Amino acid sequence: MATGWAQDGAVQEQIDATVKDAIARARSTLPAGPSLTHCAECDDEIPEGRRQAIPGVRLCVHCQDAHDGKTRSFSGYNRRGSKDSQLR
């Protein structure tokens, strides 16, 4: 399909690159290393099940929920894809 000056498959390459960047950004926020036994913020004990389920965990469930609430406010992606949403 002719798309002007773009090469065949250029749109898909751009989509693939965007997905790869999003995956890399998400992986960079995951905890790494040994899990803490006590929360880094409130010093409550982190249950053994949580430490095993999430390697490198640093926060208890309550503090993690509060932290996630702060970071969810802006995603940076136009998920609806309509022109109306791009103008907001």
Domain annotation covers residue 17: no
How much is the pLDDT for 45? 96
Domain annotation covers residue 57: yes
What tokens does 54 get? 């999430």
For the chain, the helix, strand and coil percentages under 3-state DSSP, each to the nearest 5: 45, 0, 50
Quote the number of domains for the chain: 1
Domain annotation covers residue 9: no
Domain annotation covers residue 48: yes
Domain annotation covers residue 20: no
What tokens does 82 get? 């309509």
Domain annotation covers residue 44: yes
Domain annotation covers residue 45: yes
Residue 41 and residue 64 in contact, taking contact as beta carbons nearer than 8 Å: no
Residue 51 and residue 37 in contact, taking contact as beta carbons nearer than 8 Å: yes
Taking only the tens place, the pLDDT of each residue in 65-77 is 998 887 665 555 5
Domain annotation covers residue 54: yes
Rounded to two decimals, what is the model's pTM?
Answer: 0.52
Q: Structural domain of residue 56, as residue ranges? A: 31-70
| Phi-psi category of residue 52: left, alpha or beta, with phi > 0 → left and psi -120 to 50 → alpha | alpha
Predicted confidence band of residue 6 (pLDDT cuts 50, 70, 90) = low
